[in-house]
Amino acid sequence: MLAYLDCYSGISGNMFIGAMLDAGLSWDSLQQMLALLPVRGYQLRREALKQGGIQGQRFEVVLEDPDQPERRWSEIRHLLESAPLPTQVRERALAIFRTLAEAEASVHGVSPEEVHFHEVGAIDAIVDIVGAAIAVEVLGIKHLYASPLPLTTGMVETAHGWLPVPAPATLEILRRVAAPWRPCPVQGELVTPTGAAILATLARFEMPAMRIERVGYGFGHRHLPWPNCLRLCLGPAEFVDDATGEALDRDWVTLIETNLDNTTPELLGALMDELLTAGALDVTFSPLQMKKNRPGTLLSVLALPEQSEQLATLILRSTGTLGLRLQQMQRLKAQRSQEELPTPLGTVTVKVKRLGARIVSATPEYESCRRLAQEHGVSLSVVYDLVQQCLEADFYGQSQAERPSSATSSPSRQEQSH
């Protein structure tokens, strides 16, 4: 599922959850999963709301005691790690809080472990952040995108006194991800630290090409000249070829490139292994003719956007290059999986490519075929021929539902890179 947030009126944690509820997030699922948190003293409330002819929902965390203690980052981390939440929910919530901790640490000139959370350490902020992570998981959102944010002026009251808007931590969070802003003619805070951390951790500031299936509106508490809500658009996380009707997956990657003219083949080979081990999706070398007719090598690395900075630093550290080029690219991908195919010689792993439910191709995995050849004392070509016969008999023409239940669907890194 793709999700696009139209933040024309800003964003907060409760606006994010309200929009998700309005777009179809199960209220029962949200309540049940939040009940796994080891915190008490609050109630969840939602209400249908209409402003300016727009109907949506408002989500609130109502505290029994409005005076909330400050919590350290280490305390919140322990609280989340001890909660029996689904792994992906826990990891997303921890990542959002880590974003907050690093920004607060930078603003106050301390380490993240020394950060005391005031407003964002309160129960309502913890519930908002974990609730946001739950919403993304339950709705199956694979890619989250966001619009530019409204840049307002004025002051906001905090535990540190009155501070300029955007609040320093909010500004630091969004500076780190180069979030785009647009002028907004009102005073006061429209983008909260919690809302900023959710966007900086989970979203890309781009407008995707998508087919919108559902729209949700999550209302805030301020009264503005326009409906004060966050607008959410949901659609399938796939591209459908109009000519064939077949589905392709869509995602974003970062291409890292640099020209090398002083690196030996042995070092290049070691660099490829190091990059793949560190999480690169693909690493390739291409010959170049560089200045002064020197032969060189174009290094190209494909990476997930969140790993691009780490891999770029690795390249700068491990080679003599003085600079790198980074490009954000969108990919359209066929569905790929590794599956087990029984043959008269034993089970072979095959890499299966699908468009929708239709199998387009299936390729034997080399190491698996080599193992069978060695075990039975036959040539590798014999094993390949046998596997091809089994593929034609058992795979082609079958839909996903017709495949044996023993099939696995986890693509390898090499498959992801194609």
- Rounded CA gap, 15 and 128, in Å? 9
Residue 271 DSSP class: H
What is the average pLDDT across 49-65? 92
Which residues form the domain of 401? 335-417
Residues 320 and 381 in one domain: no
Categorize the per-residue pLDDT at 314 as very low, low, confident or very high, splitting at 50, 70 and 90.
very high
Return the pLDDT at 119.
54
CA-to-CA separations, 166 to 89, 156, 199, 226, 295, in angstroms, rounded = 28, 8, 15, 20, 51
pLDDT at 246: 64
Question: Domain for residue 242, yes or no?
Answer: no
Residues 180 and 314 grouped into a single domain: no
Q: How far apart are the first and last CA of the chain?
A: 22
Q: What is the pLDDT of residue 404?
A: 42
The 10s digit of each residue's pLDDT in 106-131 is 887 877 777 767 555 478 889 999 99
The residues near 154 (Cβ < 8 Å, ≥ 6 apart) are 164, 165, 187, 188, 189
* For the chain, percent of residues with pLDDT exceeding 90: 60
Q: Which range among 36-45, 46-55, 99-108, 142-151 shows the weakest confidence by mean pLDDT?
A: 99-108
Give the domain-ending residue among 207, 236, 265. Answer: 236
pLDDT, tens only, 334-348: 888 888 889 999 999
Which CATH number fits the domain that encloses residue 369? 3.10.20
* Residue 400: per-residue pLDDT: 42
- For 318-370, what is the HEC assignment? HCCCCCCEEEEEEEEECEEEEEEEEECCEEEEEEEEEECCEEEEEEECHHHHH
Q: Assess whether 176 and 49 both reside in one domain.
A: yes
Task: Choose the final residue of a domain: 236, 264, 283.
Answer: 236
Strand positions, DSSP E, 191-240: 203-204, 214-219, 229-235, 238-240
Task: Confirm if 250 and 14 have CB atoms less than 8 A apart.
Answer: no
Tell me how far CA of residue 4 lies from CA of 41, 43, 130, 215, 267, in angstroms.
Answer: 33, 29, 20, 10, 43
Q: Looking at residue 239, what is its pLDDT? A: 64
Q: Is residue 246 part of a domain?
A: no
Total domains present in the chain: 3
Q: Is residue 241 assigned to a domain?
A: no
Shared domain for 224 and 310, answered yes or no, is no
**pLDDT over 70 at 415, yes or no:** no
pLDDT band, residue 395 (cuts 50/70/90): low
Which range, of 79-83, 141-145, 304-308, averages the lowest pLDDT?
304-308
Contact 22, 232 (CB under 8 A): yes
Residue 370 belongs to a domain: yes
If you search the block for the tokens 């043959």, which residue do you land on?
343
